[in-house]
Amino acid sequence: MTDLQVFFQQLITGLSCGMIIALIALGYTMVYGIVELINFAHGDLFMLGSFLALTIIGALGLDQVGVDSLVSWGIFPLFIAAPVFCGALNWGVDRFAYRPLRDAPRLAPLVSAIGVSFVFLNLGLFWGGAPMQVFNMGGAAAAPKDFPALVSNRNLLGDSVIQFTAKDLLVMGMTIPLMIGLTVVVKYTRLGKSMRAVAQNATAARLMGIDVDRVIGATFVLGGALGGVASVVYAIYNNTIYFQMGYRAGMDAFTAAVLGGIGNLPGAVLGGIVIGVVRAMSDQYIATEWTNAVVFSILILVLIFRPSGLLGAAVREKV
């Protein structure tokens, strides 16, 4: 491959990985935008979604179904079950762990989120020991799990040395419509207007007749559902899952949300894409061991010159 071909190949890889990060970051930024809570459990919720997807594959025997043309029909149950599961679980976490601490000092729900993260992490470790063939009969609960190939790895560009596969198309085909749809929901629907009102001033929203707890609960459902979609896309794209994957993915997603402007939906997507592309280019042109340093150096530089993030709006603090 020529240098230009290598560059474009890394650009495609970076865009695909960045859009997966963006899907997770959307869940982070939605919750923060409404209740100003950094939901550290979101990454591990994403991990549980991928474990549910693998469980469904094993239960329905989808690992024995071949890939017809480019995509196996077996992906459709996953894209229904994982978002519903993650959305419901996220709602439950808000209802029983975060809502009772709504009026507590900010440190209390933050510590609670870290605690929920550890609960989910250990649940993933326990789940990895399930006595199913897709989990290697539970012989090594902590070991990475192979995720069956449900989408073809065939190059859509024909004989070109640059690889653009159905997996890359799936990532982009899920992330872009979801971001557009979410933006429409937030800007033009009654629920979206209620979300913006609660984000601006929860007390005033309550006085205007808005059910604040219901709106926050709906936000957690939407954020969790996005994490569920991301978990399936990640598993299909990488073909490997493990119980600690939520930490790395969650850290990248949170960084993307901050980089793009936390609370800003297009900013979360932009931040995810920037991080994905920077990671791919750093791996290729610098060294893998320096990638995290490069990513966080760029984050620090951006925040020095634009503390609100790339697309974040500067807000004056009231005193």
**pLDDT (tens place) for every residue of the chain, 319 residues total:** 788 999 999 999 999 999 999 999 998 898 888 888 889 999 999 999 999 999 999 998 887 766 666 777 778 899 999 999 999 999 999 999 999 998 888 889 999 999 999 999 999 999 999 999 999 888 889 999 999 988 888 888 888 899 999 999 999 999 889 989 998 999 999 999 999 999 989 999 999 999 999 999 999 999 999 999 999 999 999 999 999 999 989 999 999 999 998 888 889 999 999 999 999 999 999 999 999 999 999 999 998 999 888 987 655 544 4
Contacts with 100 (C-beta within 8 Å, 6 or more apart), sequence order: none
Q: What is the pLDDT of residue 318?
A: 44
Q: What is the pLDDT of residue 319?
A: 41
Query: Are the beta carbons of 127 and 243 closer than 8 angstroms?
Result: yes
Contacts with 285 (C-beta within 8 Å, 6 or more apart), sequence order: none
Question: Which class for 54: exposed (0-12), middle (13-18), buried (19 or more C-beta within 10 A)?
Answer: buried
DSSP string, 289-312: GGHHHHHHHHHHHHHHH-TT-SSP
Residue at token pair 């009102």: 197
Quick one: how far is CA 140 from the chain centroid? 26
DSSP string, 173-225: HHHHHHHHHHHHHHHHSHHHHHHHHHHH-HHHHHHTT--HHHHHHHHHHHHHH
What is the distance between the alpha carbons of residues 91 and 106, in angstroms, rounded to a whole number?
A: 20
User: pTM for this one?
Assistant: 0.93
What is the distance between the alpha carbons of residues 80 and 232, in angstroms, rounded to a whole number?
A: 10
Q: What is the pLDDT of residue 314?
A: 57
Is 314 strand, coil or helix?
A: coil
AA identity, residue 315: V
* 3-class DSSP string for 223-270: HHHHHHHHHHHHHHHHCEECCCHHHHHHHHHHHHHHHHCCCCHHHHHH
Q: What is the pLDDT of residue 1?
A: 74
Query: Are the beta carbons of 282 and 4 closer than 8 angstroms?
Result: no
User: Which uninterrupted H or E stretch holds 29?
Assistant: helix 3-35
Torsion angle defined by CA atoms of residues 286, 287, 289 and 290, in that order, rounded to the nearest 10 degrees: 0
Q: What is the pLDDT of residue 153?
A: 85
Give the chain's domains with CATH numbers.
3-305 (1.10.3470)
Residue 223: which of 46, 6, 31 has the closest Cα?
31
**Alpha carbon separation from 208 to 193, 199, 302 (Å, rounded):** 12, 14, 38
Token duo for residue 143: 């070991």
User: Which uninterrupted H or E stretch holds 145?
Assistant: strand 145-146
Token duo for residue 152: 């073809």
